[in-house]
Chains A and B, each alone.
Chain A
Amino acid sequence: MGMVSSLLPHLINGLALGLLFALIALGFTLIVSVMEVINLAHGSLFALGAYIAMVIISPDLVMLGAAGELYGDLPLAVRYVIALVLAPLVIAVIGFGLEILLRRTYGKKKEYGLLLTFGAALVFEEAIRLVWGPAERVLPVPPGITGGFIFNGMIYSNYRIYAMVFGAAAIGVVWLFLNRTPYGAIIKAGAHDDEMVRALGINLPRLRMLVFGFGAALAAVAGIILTPIWGLRPHVGVDATIPAFLIIVLGGIGSFWGAVFAGLLVGLVVGITGAYASDWSILSMYILLIVVLTFRSRGLLGKKTALEL
C-alpha cells in the first residue's frame, strides 16, 4: 500500500505529461504524414503562438484607445479564451505562408524542405527576440485554474489537471475531425495516396496548405497550454521540437494513435524516472526510443514497409 500510494502521484504526473507531449506531437505528425515534411519550425510556431496569446490577453491598451479600455475590462478568463481561439488562427496564417514557401522544394530532395523549415525556425525565434526581447515573460492564465488542491495528503496543480483535460479534449477533437468529417477523410486520403486524391479532382496544393496551417495552429495551441508550465522565452520552442520529433518516430511516422500512445508512454517513463532516478529523467525518453526502434524499426504503430508485408 505504501508503494502504491507513493507511486500514484508520479503515475498521475506521468499521464499528464504524456497528454501534453501528445498534444505537442499532434500538429507535427499531421504535417509529416500528409506532406512528408519534417517541420523544424514546429517549436518556433509553438513559441510564437504563446507570445501572440500573451499579447491578446494583455495588449497595450493605451494604443487601442477606448476600445482598449472596454477590452481591458473583460475578465481575464474571457481574454484567455479569445487568445486560445485567435492566436492559433494567426499562426495558421503564418503556416499557410510557410507552406507556400515550401512548394518550391516539393519533388526535390527532402533535405531542402528540412533546411527551409530550419531556417524559418531561426527567423521566427529571432523575430520573437527582436519584438519581445530575450527575457522571460509570463503568459497570464485565469486565476480559477492556478494554485493547487490537496488530494490524499498531496498538493496537485490545478493548472496541470486543466492542461491534461484540455490535451485529452484536443486529441479527441482532432480525431473526430480526421475521422468524422469529409475534410478529415480527404486529409487521410492525401496522406495515403496524394496522386489519387489529385486524380479525384481535389485541389492538392490547397489541401497541403490547409493541413500545414492546421498543424501550425495545433503547435500554437500546445504553446499556449504548455508555456505557463515551462516558461515563456524565445527559445522555448526547442523544448517542444525535440520531444515532438522523438514521439512521432517512436509512435510510427504517420500514425495518429501512434503519436498519442507514444506521447503517453514518454510521459510515463519520464515522470516515473523522475521519481526514482531523477538524473536519468530526460535521458530515459531517448533510451526508450533506442529500445523500441531496435526491435521495431517502424515505431509502435507505424505502417509496415514493402519488405515487411
Chain B
Amino acid sequence: MPKHTLAAASLLSLAAVMTASVALAQDAKPIIIGITSDASGQYANSGAEDRRGMQMAIDEFNAKGGVLGRPIETVFVDTETTPATGSRVAERMITRDGAAFLIGAVSSGVANAVSQVAQKYGVIYLNTNSSSPTESGKDCHLTKFVWDGNGTNFAIATTKAAIEEMGKDWLLITNDYGWGHDTSAANRKLAEANGATIIKEILVPQGTRDFTSVLIDLQTVNPDVVAAAVGGDDLKALRTQVADLNMGEQFGWINNQQDWADVYGLPKTNLFGVFGTTWYYKLDLPGVADFVAKYQAAYPDTQMKVPGNVFFNGYWATRSLLEAVERAGTTNNHAVIKELEQLRIPAAVRMQDDDAYMNPKTHQMQQTVYLATANLASDDPDDLFKILGHSTPDAVVDAGAEAACKLESFEDTPVYEP
C-alpha cells in the first residue's frame, strides 16, 4: 500500500475512534440529582427517611443502567431545617455541582426557599414531604412538584369526624412557622365551616421542648378537641409530655398528619388521638409486602425497621421523576414538566387504595389519605398505627389551592437541559 494511503487511513481511523469516544463520553455523562434534605434540626429524622426513599428509587434505576443510558449520581448537602441554608444549598448544587434536578424537603420553609432558586434556573424540584398548603398554593412554581398530602387535605379527612365524635369546642396548638400557621388556618376554616368554635390558639415556637405551660392552658380552657399543628422533634416532646400526664384521653386530639419518623420508637401510649397519613407499611394492598421487604434488604442496619410515609413519598417522587425523563426521552425541563403534569399512577402500582394523579394546575399529587390512631392491640413494636378508614383524593381536595396557585408560564421559565 502506498505510504500516503496508509497515512490517510490511519488518520481516518484515529478520527473515527476519537469521535466515538467523545460520543460515548457524552452518552455516559451522569445525571446529577441534588438532594436538598435536612440532616440536622427539627426534621433530621424525617430527612434521613426521605433520603432512603430517594436512594432506593435511584438504585433501582442504576441497576437497569440509569436513565436514557446515563448513570444517576447524587450530591447531598444538609439544609439544616433552615430556609436560608436551603437557598444556599440549592444555588450551589445548580451552579457548582451541575445538578439536573433537586429533590427533597420536609420543612415547608426550606422547600419554599429551595423552590425559588430552582424556578430561577428552570431546575425541576420535587418537594417530597413538606405539607404546608401554600406549597401548592400561593408558593407554587412551574418547576416544583409536591408529593405529600397537605394540611388542608388532612384537615378535611379528620375534621368532620372529630366534630361529630368529640365535640365543638376546639383549641389549636400551632408551631410558629409557615407549615404550622397554614395547617392551623386550614383546621380553623374547616372546623368553623362545620359548626365548631375555636376557643383559643396557642403558638409554640420551633424548638420548644417544654410544653408545660401549654398543658396548663389546656386544663384551664378544657376544650373538647385539641388540633395540634406541631411537627418534628417538637411533636415528639409534646406527645411524651402529654402521655406522661395521661392527658391523651382527656381531650380529643387531632394531629393533622403524623410522619412516621416523628413517632417511630416512641411508646404506643404516646400516639394518642387521631391523625392522617398517606401510607402505612401494613396496608393490605398489592405490592406493599414486597416494598417493605425491598426496604429491609436495602437498609438492614437502620434503626427504622420498616418504612413509613416519608420514605414512601421520597421513593415515589424520585421514581416518578426518572420515569418521566424516560418517557420524555430527554432531560429538557419543559418536556419533563409536561410529562409530570399528566402523571397518573394506578392504585395497585402505587400501593394505595385509590389511583393517584398530579394536579396540573397546582402540581400537587392527589392521593388517598388514611385516618389512623394508635394500635394498642398489637404487641409488635413497629405496628404503631391502626387504620380507621381512608378518603379518596377527590374527597380531600384542597379547593382553595387552584385559585391561590399561579404557575409561571413556560415562556417565563428558563430552559434547562443538563
Residues of A within 8 A of B (CB): 6, 9-10, 13, 16-17, 132-138, 146-148, 153-155, 157, 159-160, 228-231, 233, 235, 239, 270-271, 274-275, 278-279, 281-283
Contacts and interface: CB of A to CB of B under 8 A. Distances in A.
A25 B342 CA distance: 57
A135 B205 contact: no
Contacts of B214: 274, 278
Contacts of A134: 44-45, 48, 303
B209 A281 contact: no
Contact of B265 (A17, A136, A153, A154): A136
Contacts of A155: 215, 219, 245-247
Given A135-B304, A157-B244, 11 more contacts: A6-B220, A10-B216, A16-B212, A135-B45, A155-B215, A155-B247, A160-B212, A229-B210, A229-B237, A233-B45, A278-B202
Contact of B212 (A147, A157, A233): A157
B261 A230 contact: no
A111 B341 CA distance: 54
A17 B212 contact: yes
A230 B265 contact: no
13 contacts: A10-B213, A13-B216, A17-B212, A135-B264, A135-B265, A135-B304, A155-B215, A157-B244, A230-B210, A231-B236, A235-B44, A275-B213, A279-B203
Nearest to B304: A135
A279 B205 contact: yes
B243 to A, nearest CB: 9
Contacts of A228: 240
B40 interface: yes
Contacts of B247: 155
Nearest to A272: B213
A153 B219 CA distance: 9
Contacts of B204: 278-279
A162 to B, nearest CB: 12
Interface of B: 40-41, 44-45, 48, 176, 202-205, 207-210, 212-217, 219-220, 233, 236-237, 240-241, 244-247, 261, 264-267, 302-304
A204 B255 CA distance: 56
Nearest to B303: A133
Contact of A13 (B209, B213, B261): B213
B395 to A, nearest CB: 33
B217 A147 contact: no
Contacts of B266: 136, 138
- By Cβ-Cβ distance, the 9 closest A-B pairs, closest first, are A274-B213, A133-B303, A279-B203, A148-B245, A230-B209, A282-B205, A13-B212, A135-B303, A9-B216
A237 to B, nearest CB: 12
Contacts of A132: 303
Contacts of A160: 212
Contacts of A17: 210, 212
A275 B216 contact: yes
Nearest to B301: A133
Looking at chain A's contact residues, is the secondary structure mostly helix, strand, loop, or mixed? helix
A72 B138 CA distance: 56
Contact of A157 (B213, B245, B267): B245
Name the residue in B205, B213, B246, B261 with the highest tally of chain A Cβ atoms < 10 Å from its Cβ. Answer: B213
Nearest to B245: A148
A239 B209 contact: yes
A142 to B, nearest CB: 13
Contacts of A231: 209, 233, 236-237, 240
Contact of B40 (A16, A235, A275, A279): A235
B215 to A, nearest CB: 8
A279 B241 CA distance: 19
A281 B40 contact: no
A233 B213 contact: no
Contact of A159 (B176, B202, B237, B244): B244
A136 B45 CA distance: 8
Contact of B241 (A10, A138, A229, A271): A229
A228 B45 CA distance: 19
A157 B219 CA distance: 13
A281 B213 contact: yes
A154 to B, nearest CB: 5
B204 to A, nearest CB: 6
B205 A281 contact: yes
A137 B244 contact: no
Contacts of B302: 133
B208 A282 contact: yes
Given A154-B219, A230-B237, A278-B204, A137 B265 contact: yes
A9 B203 CA distance: 19
Nearest to B203: A279
Contacts of B213: 10, 13, 271, 274-275, 278, 281
B320 to A, nearest CB: 26
A13 to B, nearest CB: 4
Contacts of A157: 212, 241, 244-245
A279 B216 contact: no
Contacts of A278: 202-205, 213-214, 217
B271 to A, nearest CB: 13
Name the residue in A136, A154, A235, A281 with the highest tally of chain B Cβ atoms < 10 Å from its Cβ. Answer: A136
A263 to B, nearest CB: 14
Contacts of A271: 212-213
A6 B204 CA distance: 20
B207 A239 contact: yes
A148 B246 CA distance: 8
A230 B244 CA distance: 12
A47 B295 CA distance: 30
Contacts of A138: 265-267
B210 to A, nearest CB: 6
Nearest to A271: B213
Contacts of B219: 153-155
